[in-house]
Structure 1
Amino acid sequence: MNFHAICSDIDGTLLNSERDLSPKLKSVISRLPADFPVILASSRMPAAMRHLLEDLNKPNQPLIAYNGGFVLGPSGEVLDSTSIPLPIVQAIFELISRTSIHFSLYEGENWYEEKEDYWSKREITNTKVNPTWKETEAVLADWQKENKGAHKVMVMGESNEISWLFGELHERFGNDLHLYRSKDTYIEIAPRKISKATGLALILEQFYPFGMEHIAAFGDNYNDIDLLQKVGIGVAVANARPEVKAVAKYLTLHHKEDGVADFLEKNFPNP
């Protein structure tokens, strides 16, 4: 099997049951050529991705953050930045103001939270990043002055409230937003015109002398569908959504069984 780079989702794909990189995965990656690109593509913010590249001993790699809304080159330079317009962010915030739904804002290298609660603590644990504690109204007021929007809005809460909000957002902003319901209790919100595949195409165009057909990409969720469709070797882990498996060319083991490492070990010429 011939591929010149790896592009992988993180949560539910690359990480194991401890939400960490397994010793087997680290071993397999360490046996790849030193100049072999390992590109992470995630809804995560950059800081929640860099420590994983450090652990893989692949620090100077491009990053596709916020599902393609914020794309960084190998030296950390910003290649592309696409945000949700501030009026839409404000409308989402107003929509949840009379609910118990948790509201998180992401912009560039920044993650903003109002208070420490169950949801913010969970994200801190999962991503190993600490937010900036700041009132949402103050963040939005600053963005108004600075002409900024959000690279990602994440809302979390009880599944019935999240279901209601998903319907409302789809009806009002379906043409403007990607709405990823990664769990029954989460919605990750991104601009409609970007994806992990658009971010990868930009990186390849600027830094690598090969096209999407030479990439092995791994994923598990709705926001990986476009990526797996566009690359030459699209691989779904066994725990992937049925829709993801349907578009993947290959299937590997569950993420808790080192699916990415197993595929690489079996299909790369020498790891």
Structure 2
Amino acid sequence: MTLFCSDVDGTLLDHRRSLSDRTVAAIRAVRSAGHAFVLCSSRMPASLEGLERLCGVEPTPLIAYNGGLVLRADRSVVTDVAIAPSDAREAYAVCSRLGLHASFFAGDDWYAWGPDEWTEREATITVVDPSDVSAHDYVASGRVGGQPPHKVMAMGEPALVDELEAALAGRPGVVAYRSKTTYLEVASSACSKGDGLRALADELGVDLADTVFFGDNHNDVSAFAVAGTAVAVANAVDPALEAASVVTGHHREDGVAEYLEAWLATH
């Protein structure tokens, strides 16, 4: 069995931020041939499950939060690496001082800053609604200590996001990733997509040489270093293109499906 694992945004999804019919057909064909196809993203599990349902298949394992949460098909936990509560509180304090929106994600709970444009935009992209509990209540109530977040996502003006990134740079327990000029995603430095891929391959009994990872961005490079075959879409950032062993088509042109179709034709 080959384990195919793909990043979502900028890699697997098309210009509508959805799965094209061609991509769905390719994923189904791979699974029908006895192979695994797993989503790996900074998104929360509920959002990935929504994409999974578009494929019309039974639940499969998931790698959420950039490897911070790896789940089996039955949603039992393989690995769970959250941000330390002290680091989460510091991120909250800096965002409060700067006036940045910050969303805290813990498992399938999303604690948003408030009903603002950033929350609305994220809900539209991920097709998931935030909890009734706000980020402020999540931190103030102490819930952040008992249920620490897997991801903090700060959103706002680029200059303010720059300040947050600089403020967190000295904290060794976290890693910050700039997914857009207006977005900063924060996770535990103890996890990565590469770690997630390694953990899932071990769980499924698949040799890493028999894994294929698709990606486009900086946070995919760790998985490229682990995978047997690293496939970058044509729109990938330079570090990802340089780390890849294969380059396929642009994500807007179904690059992942293009690779899968060619692979199935020769295997």
Secondary structure of residue in 2 paired with 1:116: coil
Identical aligned residues as a percent: 35
- The residue number in structure 1 matching 2:130 is 131
- Kept in 1: contact 2:13–2:20 (CA 8 A): yes
CA distance in 2, matches of 1:186, 1:166: 10
- Kept in 2: contact 1:182–1:188 (CA 8 A): yes
For the pair 1:164 / 2:163, whether they are aligned, the reply is yes
Q: 1:211 aligns with which of 203, 207, 213?
A: 207
For the pair 1:190 / 2:187, whether they are aligned, the reply is yes
Q: 1:181 aligns with which of 175, 178, 182?
A: 178
- Kept in 2: contact 1:114–1:133 (CA 8 A): no
| Within-5 A mapping of 1:1-271 | 4-34=2-32, 35-144=34-143, 147-170=146-169, 172-173=170-171, 175-208=172-205, 210-269=206-265
Secondary structure of residue in 2 paired with 1:168: helix
- Kept in 2: contact 1:42–1:64 (CA 8 A): yes
CA distance in 1, matches of 2:145, 2:215: 35
Give 1:81 shift: 1.1
- Kept in 1: contact 2:3–2:201 (CA 8 A): no
Give 1:116 shift: 1.3
RMSD of the alignment, in Å?
1.7
Deviates more, 1:227-236 or 1:53-62: 53-62
| Deviation sequence 1:157-214 (CA, Å, 0-9, x none) | 11111112112211x21x2111110110101100001111211221221223x21111
Give 1:33 shift: 4.1
- Kept in 2: contact 1:86–1:143 (CA 8 A): no
Residues 110 and 33 from structure 1, CA distance in 2 versus in 1: closer, same or farther, beyond 3 angstroms? closer
Residues 58 and 229 from structure 1, CA distance in 2 versus in 1: closer, same or farther, beyond 3 angstroms? farther
- Kept in 2: contact 1:86–1:144 (CA 8 A): no
CA distance in 1, matches of 2:237, 2:40: 17
CA distance in 2, matches of 1:225, 1:215: 14
TM-score (norm 1): 0.93
Secondary structure of residue in 2 paired with 1:132: coil
Give 1:32 shift: 2.2
Residues 140 and 233 from structure 1, CA distance in 2 versus in 1: closer, same or farther, beyond 3 angstroms? same
Give 1:109 shift: 1.1
Residues 144 and 28 from structure 1, CA distance in 2 versus in 1: closer, same or farther, beyond 3 angstroms? closer
What is the number of residues matched between the two proteins? 266
| Deviation sequence 1:60-86 (CA, Å, 0-9, x none) | 211110001111001111111111111
TM-score (norm 2): 0.94
Which residue type is aligned with residue 20 of structure 1? S
Unaligned runs of 5+ residues in structure 2 are none
Give 1:11 shift: 0.4
